[in-house]
Chain A
Amino acid sequence: MDSKEIGSGSSGADLLREIERLRAEKEELESRIHLLEAQIKPRGAAEDKSGSCSLSSLSCSQMNGATISCLSPEMIHRYSRHLLLPDFGVEGQLKLSKSSILVVGAGGLGSPVAMYLVACGVGCLGIVDSDIVELNNLHRQIIHTEAYAGQSKVKSAASSCHAINSSVKLVEHREALQAVNALDIVSKYDIVVDATDNLPSRYMISDCCVLLDKPLVSGAALGLEGQLTVYNYNGGPCYRCLFPTPPPSAACQRCSDSGVLGVVPGVIGCLQALEAIKVASAVKIRGRSPACLICGENAAFTREIFQSFDYENFTQSPMSDKSSEKLNLIPESSRITAIPKSMNIPLSNLEDKLSTIHSALKQAAQDSGKCASLFVVCRRGNDSQRAVDYLSKNGFPLAKDISSEKLNLIPESSRITGKEYNEIVNTGEPHVLVDVRPVHHFKIAAIPKSMNIPLSNLEDKLSTIHSALKQAAQDSGKCASLFVVCRRGNDSQRAVDYLSKNGFPLAKDIVGGLQSWSQDVDHTFPSY
């Protein structure tokens, strides 16, 4: 490969173009390597291109150097430590190498599942996922690397798997597994691993495995906890035997809302890989429920019913954060009560309704003769943040999220912007900055010299604030001001409201919190 010297005078745009060109070249080379490799491998030659995972070409007679054991010398060398295990041995390895496993989800659980199954020598591994790699996935989704940020998770996972063990057949399904395509995809595999992150997918995958009689290795992880179950295997139960009724959506938080310690899905995923290997190499488990609607004695669940079953509606929760349009969850709750003159655009429809928002803003501007602002509200402030994030990247950079119940909690005079606060810092004006976020948030990042008093403790810490103000005033010989900041500017308003009624009438909050601070003032300040 010819290398090109990149001069120090190159502009950023030149470098980006060069990176693009090299990436394209690398992809082209990789695909050529794949092709050539397929020609060398005896089993690769007969491979079909339909994305199926039939391993008929792996039969012993076609194996190179077939011995009684039916393992090639390469395989014996590679998997020698498996073969040394009395309970696994050649038989276990052979069965594993003839099995095909589908991993649904290439995230925190799917990462170790896919990596271990491939490393251990599964015959064929299918990976299904429609997501793209994001940097905030990488703390737990260890199959992905920074270089793949913004690219398909399936592509990234397949590339890692190929790098680990190029003799395993990999099938990439770059789509979401849904009732409409699940039968088709799942039927091509022997075993299914549920490594998804949501409830509707779990019911859908379990039902599908019952219909197709596939064993299902299911894992889940959240926070510091995980669950592992093998369903529909050796007369064992299905997901609905255990959980016939979906829990209310409040009871099933997502990692994106509640957080997860990176290692936890890693541990569960490793256990899933282990169970999948046990099933594949046929190395036991509670009886199914006779009353189960899906796998029970009187079950009348057909493929047709499966394909038209609305799992999101059944579980009252979305299959993905970028949820599908048909989902009717948000409108229902917003019908209960709404702020006058607010317009209802469910988060799931936001993408299609940008023009509606645009027209509404135009109308508001025309009516008033002034530029109109855009605010977003939801029930608890999570979805509105997602919406603002999306809007800000799609033509509405000034959209702001508000917390539903406290619209205009404190007067404008009690607020300053991040830029104004920055001025105060730069001019050395004496002040105290109180950060009212929870302690564990404060530890992530904080404005220098701010003092952390979580909103929940504010009542007990008034004297601390008092002393700090007094100290600042003594040091400077001038009166010191009091400012309050939080993550997004809601709690700081509540704090200022409380402070103003409890001896600190001049307290001010920083509009938009640290999020605005990071956007408007200190771009190096981490947003989280």
Chain B
Amino acid sequence: MTEEPKDTCDVIGSQKTNPSRDKDLAPYIKIKVLFFARARDLTGSTELCLEMPDGSTARDCMNKLLIEFPNLREIYNSMVLALNEEYAPESTILRNKDELAIIPPISGG
């Protein structure tokens, strides 16, 4: 079920560590990442913001998340990605303010 929309979310990215970088020289995009089901259990959050270099793919995003949350590996081989509410392959290039959802299968009934 959907969470209440939030204007702000936790930011993971280079801004924290490198606040003085020049945006014109290294353009960055902001990606909102949503975690569902087991992905939420493993990361402990429902959503967060990721700063990625312009031109990054969904796979680049995943790689960054796997460094941040190593235990996401548990579901990495059995999950689908949805970009702006549509299934998308990992090779998809992301744009600023895209919403990337990580969806592992659930099996209950």
Contact = CB atoms under 8 A, between A and B. Distances in A.
A124 B105 CA distance: 30
A54 interface: no
A225 B107 contact: no
Interface stretch (A14-22, A39-47, A241-249): A241-249
B108 A255 contact: yes
B65 interface: no
A417 interface: no
A252 B38 contact: yes
B40 to A, nearest CB: 9
B109 interface: yes
B38 A219 contact: no
A92 interface: no
A227 B105 contact: yes
- Of A107, A197, A223, which is in contact with the most chain B CB atoms at under 10 Å from its CB? A223
Contact of B75 (A219, A247, A255): A247
Contacts of B80: 242-243
Contact of A227 (B74, B78, B106): B106
Nearest to B103: A227
Interface string B61-97: 0000000000000110111100000110000000000
A248 B74 contact: yes
Interface string A201-213: 0100000000000
Given A245-B78, A251-B38, A251-B75, A219 B87 contact: no
A226 B36 CA distance: 10
A173 to B, nearest CB: 17
Interface in B1-59: 1, 36-38
- Of A227, A254, A255, which is in contact with the most chain B CB atoms at under 10 Å from its CB? A227
Contact of B107 (A220, A223, A242, A244): A220
Interface in A88-122: 105, 107-110
A35 to B, nearest CB: 34
A384 interface: no
Interface string A286-321: 100000000000000000000000000000010000
A253 B107 CA distance: 7
Contacts of B1: 224-226, 264
Interface in A187-207: 195-199, 202
Given A243-B78, A247-B74, A251-B74, A222 B107 contact: yes
A252 B107 contact: yes
A260 interface: yes
Categorize the interface residue count of chain A.
35 or more
Contacts, number: 86
A198 B108 CA distance: 6
A202 B107 contact: yes
Contacts of B107: 197-199, 202, 220, 222, 252, 254, 317
Given A225-B1, A247-B38, A220 B105 contact: yes
Given A225-B37, A247-B78, A251-B74, A286 B87 contact: yes
Nearest to B73: A248
A426 interface: no
Nearest to A140: B109
A265 interface: yes
Contacts of B103: 227
Contact of A222 (B37, B78, B87): B37
A1 interface: no
A251 B108 contact: no
B90 to A, nearest CB: 13
Contacts of A196: 109
A76 B27 CA distance: 63
Given A221-B106, A246-B78, A255-B109, 17 more contacts: A197-B108, A197-B109, A198-B109, A199-B105, A199-B107, A220-B106, A222-B108, A223-B108, A224-B1, A225-B1, A227-B106, A242-B80, A247-B75, A247-B79, A247-B104, A247-B105, A265-B108
19 contacts: A105-B109, A110-B109, A199-B107, A202-B107, A220-B107, A220-B108, A221-B106, A222-B37, A225-B106, A227-B103, A243-B79, A247-B38, A247-B79, A248-B74, A254-B107, A254-B108, A255-B108, A258-B108, A286-B87
